[in-house]
Every structure is written in C-alpha cells, then in structure tokens.
Amino acid sequence: MTSGLRSKGFTLVEVLVATAILATGLLAALTAFSMASRVTGAARNDTAITFLAQQKLAEIQLLGRQELPAGTTAGDFAPDFPQYEWEMTVSEPDELNVTRVHLAIVAPEAGRAREVWFSTAIF
C-alpha cells in the first residue's frame, strides 16, 4: 500500500547545509568590514602624518637658514594633534652652503609608535 503523498518541506540535512552556507557568507562579510575599518584608520593616520609634515616643513622654509640652529630639536603638534610628535635634525651648511634638514614624525598606531622621515635642503 503505497500512498501517492509526497512529503513537502526541507529535510534536516538541507537545513544544515543552508545554515552552514549562510554562516560562511556572514563570516566573510564581517571579516571584510573589519579589514575595511583597519585600512580606513591607517589611511587617516597616513593623511595626518603627511599633513603635519607639510606644515612643519613649510614652517622650516619660512624661517630660513639663519634662524635654524644646527642640532636636534623636538616637540609635538599640540593642541590639535598632541599625540603626534616631531624631531628635527639640522646639519651645518656643507661646502656648497646647503643646510640639510631631517624631520621625523612619530605617530601612534595601534599601541605602538610609527616613525616617518622627511628630508629637505635649504640653499
């Protein structure tokens, strides 16, 4: 006695497979959002470093060679960016009368400091 009725619906195996596929997709999406957030933070930090370096190098160029004592000086970018620090090393003029300036920007980055160097020459 076979009944012509077929069961309608999903089996347990089909539900488990669909759940596993859905979970994998959601995990991939969450990982992508997390990575995008980290990359955005790093880009924001890089932009701030570049902006602050340009600002400091412009100040150096406006001062001129006579007002730049040879040696190393340091400071920060307070009050706007107090977590970013700078260190500048000015060399004595060489035989061509060129003064070299090396500028380091120290930036906070995920619990550690990152140092980025910039250089310029003043004629």
Bridge partners (DSSP) listed for residue 90: 71, 101
- Reading across the β-sheet that carries 81-90, which strands appear in turn? 71-77, 81-90, 99-109, 112-122
Q: Which comes out higher in pLDDT, residue 6 or 9?
A: 9
- Answer whether residue 1 is part of any domain: no
Residue 2 lies in a domain: no
Q: Give domain status of residue 5, yes or no.
A: no
> How many domains, the chain?
1
> Helix, strand or coil for residue 63?
helix
**What CATH number is associated with residue 47?**
3.30.1300.30
Domain that holds residue 80: 12-122
95 lies in a domain? Answer: yes
User: Strand, coil or helix: what is 99?
Assistant: strand
Residue 16 counted as domain residue: yes
Name the helix (H) or strand (E) containing 14.
helix 12-63
* Residue 6 within any structural domain of the chain: no
Look at residue 29 and tell me if it is in a domain: yes
Cβ atoms of 64 and 73 closer than 8 Å: no
Whole-number pLDDT of residue 123: 77
pLDDT digits (tens, 9 = 90+) for 22-57: 999 999 999 999 999 888 888 888 888 889 988 988
Spatial separation of the C-alpha atoms in residues 70 and 98, rounded to whole Å = 12
> pLDDT-based confidence at 2, cuts 50/70/90?
low
Give the Å distances, CA to CA, from 63 to 4, 12, 56, 68, 80.
95, 77, 11, 7, 22
Question: In the prediction, which pLDDT does 112 show?
Answer: 65
Residue 7 lies in a domain: no
Q: What is the pTM of this model?
A: 0.66
